[in-house]
Amino acid sequence: MGEIVRVAVNGATGRMGRALLELLRRDRRFALVAAITAPDAPEMGAPVAHGSQLCFTHDWSAIGPLDVVIDFSGPDGLASALAHCEANGVALVVGTTGYGDELARRIDAAAARIAVLRSANFSLGVAVLARLLREASAALADWDLEIVEAHHGRKEDAPSGTALLLGESAAAARGVSLDAQAVYAREGRTGPRQPGTIGFAVVRGGDIVGEHTAMLIGQGERLELSHRATDRSIFARGAIEAAHWLAGKPAGAYGLDAMLAERSGR
């Protein structure tokens, strides 16, 4: 898209929302049309930045024309963003994680009418990690796979969307379903590990931005693939690139891989 992209950020007062606003403020390719937050957010009505005319709002009906919404809110916020985008023919970038199957189905259905790009992780490193894990999981198909993730103490969903994305990638590479193979909790007398299962372990604390390790564990050796984010602006930067790429695209369900492939000419 050559012209200025009109964008709204949903979840604008959150950790990711703030990072997005900061980057968008300096990005001449975009016009920030709205910064939406929760109905009861204390920031409601306050300017988005010192001296800015634009104020935090929750009133979707008062928002002007848009090309794309970037959503990093939560399940309720995402449902509102989806409804607005569908009703107004606006593209939607979904960064929110942990929103459940019902909303996921609604997003899939909406992709028949609007362009939607979903990714549980907008970092380039994780996109490559998922690719490497697909290859390693297929090559080491009978090794045990455990996925360990660590995040800050305020994260509301577990396992992380990224851990699930990695589990899905590995399961697909092995020709199995993650739903059938996943083990999300172990406690007490669990008995021995069942072959072929994919285990998840979760760490929460302090200010950890986001860390993921996939362990492929054999007899006498182990392969570990790890990614560590140390600055959440990488996710914001990835989501902004995705929004710019998605604006003006025809209706459909897109992933980060499609954008990366198109950009690298593959």
Ligand X SMILES: O=C(O)C1=N[C@H](C(=O)O)C[C@H](O)C1
Ligand Y SMILES: NC(=O)C1=CN([C@@H]2O[C@H](COP(=O)(O)OP(=O)(O)OC[C@H]3O[C@@H](n4cnc5c(N)ncnc54)[C@H](OP(=O)(O)O)[C@@H]3O)[C@@H](O)[C@H]2O)C=CC1
Q: Which residues, in sequence order, are CB contacts of 259 under 8 Å at separation 6+? A: 117, 241, 242, 245, 246
**Residue 244 annotated as lining a ligand binding site:** no
Q: Which of 30, 56, 60, 122 binds ligand Y (CB under 6 A)?
A: 122
Query: Of 8, 10, 117, 146, which lies in the binding site for ligand Y, with binding defined by CB under 6 A?
Result: 10
Task: Find all residues with CB under 8 Å of 149, minimum gap 6, and list them.
Answer: 159, 160, 162, 163, 200, 201, 202, 203, 210, 211, 212, 213
How far apart CA 144 and CA 140 sit, in angstroms, is: 9
Q: Binding partner of residue 151 among ligand X, ligand Y, none, CB under 5 to 8 Å per kind?
A: ligand X
- Closer by beta carbon to ligand X, 5 or else 9: 9
Which residue of 161, 167, 199, 238 would you call a contact of ligand X, by CB under 6 A? 161
Q: Where in the chain does DSSP place strands (E)? A: 5-10, 30-36, 56-57, 68-71, 91-94, 115-118, 144-151, 182-183, 198-204, 210-217, 222-229, 252-254
Q: Does 16 bind ligand Y (CB under 6 A)?
A: yes
244: annotated active-site residue: no
121 binds ligand X (CB under 6 A): yes
Kindly state whether residue 151 participates in binding ligand X, applying the rule CB under 6 A: yes
Interaction partner, residue 41 (ligand X, ligand Y, none; CB < 5-8 Å by kind): ligand Y
Q: Does 120 bind ligand X (CB under 6 A)?
A: yes
Candidate segments 102-110, 117-125, 193-201, 254-262, binder of ligand Y by CB under 6 A: 117-125
Distance (Å, whole) CA 155 – CA 205: 9
61 DSSP 8-state letter: G
- Angle between helix axes 124-139 and 256-263 (nearest 10 degrees) is 100
* Max Cα–Cα distance, the chain, nearest Å: 62
In the set 58, 84, 155, 212, the catalytic residue is 155
197 is in an annotated binding site: no
Does the annotation mark 151 as catalytic?
Answer: yes
DSSP string, 107-133: HHHHTTTSEEEE-S---HHHHHHHHHH
Within residues 221-240, the interface with ligand Y by CB under 6 A covers: 232, 235
95 annotated as a binding-site residue? yes
Residue 10 interacts with ligand X (CB under 6 A): yes or no: no
Cα(231)–Cα(238) distance, integer angstroms: 12
Kindly name the residue from 84, 151, 212, 249 that is annotated as catalytic. Answer: 151
Say if CB 30 and CB 24 are below 8 A apart: yes
- Which residues sit in the known binding site for (S)-2,3,4,5-tetrahydrodipicolinate? 152, 161-162
Q: Which residues are catalytic?
A: 151, 155
Contact residues toward ligand X (CB under 6 A) are 97, 120-121, 151, 155, 160-162, 210
- Which residues sit in the known binding site for NAD(+)? 11-16, 95-97, 119-122
Contact residues toward ligand Y (CB under 6 A) are 10-11, 13-17, 36-38, 41, 72-74, 76-77, 80, 95-98, 119-122, 157, 161, 232, 235
